[in-house]
Amino acid sequence: MPADKNFHMTPGEFRRYGKAMVDWIADYHERIESFPVMSPVKPGEIRASLPKAVPQTGEPFEGMMKDVDRLLLPGITHWQSPNFFAFFPSNNSFPSVLGEMLSAGLAVQGMMWATSPACTELETHVLDWLVEMLALPESFSSSSTGGGVIQDTASSASLCALLAARERATNFATNERGCDGRLVAYTSSQAHSSIEKAAKIAGIGRQNLRSIGVDDRFAMRPDLLAAQIKQDISAGHVPCFVCASVGTTSSNAIDPVREIGRICREHGIWLHVDAAMSGTAAICPEFRWVHDGLELADSYAFNPHKWMFTNFDCDCFYVADRKALIQTLSILPEYLRNQATESGAVIDYRDWHIQLGRRFRSLKLWFVIRHYGVEGLRHHIRRHIELAQQFASWVREDDRFELAAPAPLNLVCFRHRGGDEINQALMDRLNQSGDLYLTHTRLNDRIALRLCVGQTYTELRHVEHAWKRIREEASILGGTKKGN
> Given the rule CB under 6 A, which residues bind ligand PLP?
88, 153-155, 192, 194, 245, 247-249, 274, 276-277, 303, 315
- Which residue, 112 or 157, has its beta carbon nearer to ligand PLP? 157
Report the distance separating Cα 75 and Cα 46, nearest Å: 6
- Which residue, 84 or 88, has its beta carbon nearer to ligand PLP? 88
Report the distance separating Cα 408 and Cα 209, nearest Å: 28
Report the distance separating Cα 185 and Cα 210, nearest Å: 6
- Which residue, 261 or 479, has its beta carbon nearer to ligand PLP? 261
Strand partners of residue 455 = none
Task: Residue 33: count other Cβ atoms within 10 Å of its Cβ.
Answer: 15
Shortest distance (Å) from residue 304 CB to ligand PLP: 10
* Of residues 422, 448, 451, 425, the one with CA closest to residue 436: 451
Strand partners of residue 233 = none
* Of residues 281, 283, 203, the one with CA closest to residue 241: 203
- Which residue, 255 or 351, has its beta carbon nearer to ligand PLP? 255
- Which residue, 81 or 303, has its beta carbon nearer to ligand PLP? 303
Shortest distance (Å) from residue 68 CB to ligand PLP: 25
Shortest distance (Å) from residue 274 CB to ligand PLP: 5
- Which residue, 174 or 441, has its beta carbon nearer to ligand PLP? 441
- Which residue, 191 or 363, has its beta carbon nearer to ligand PLP? 191
What is the number of alpha carbons within 13 Å of residue 236 lying toward its C-beta? 3
Shortest distance (Å) from residue 152 CB to ligand PLP: 7
Report the distance separating Cα 284 and Cα 385, nearest Å: 11
Pairing of strands 270-274, 299-302: parallel
The CA–CA distances, whole Å, from 480 to 399, 411, 434, 476, 483 equal 9, 26, 24, 9, 10
Shortest distance (Å) from residue 324 CB to ligand PLP: 22
- Which residue, 291 or 400, has its beta carbon nearer to ligand PLP? 291
Shortest distance (Å) from residue 248 CB to ligand PLP: 6
Report the distance separating Cα 451 and Cα 390, nearest Å: 12
Buried b (16+ CB within 10 A) or exposed e, 340-374: bbeeeebbbbbbbbeeeebbbbbbbbbbbbebbee
- Which residue, 161 or 263, has its beta carbon nearer to ligand PLP? 161
Shortest distance (Å) from residue 189 CB to ligand PLP: 13
Report the distance separating Cα 424 and Cα 417, nearest Å: 12
Shortest distance (Å) from residue 250 CB to ligand PLP: 9
The CA–CA distances, whole Å, from 81 to 247, 311, 453 equal 23, 14, 11
**Alpha-carbon Rg of the chain, whole angstroms?**
24
- Which residue, 142 or 303, has its beta carbon nearer to ligand PLP? 303
Shortest distance (Å) from residue 439 CB to ligand PLP: 11
Shortest distance (Å) from residue 368 CB to ligand PLP: 17
* Of residues 254, 280, 478, 269, the one with CA closest to residue 368: 280
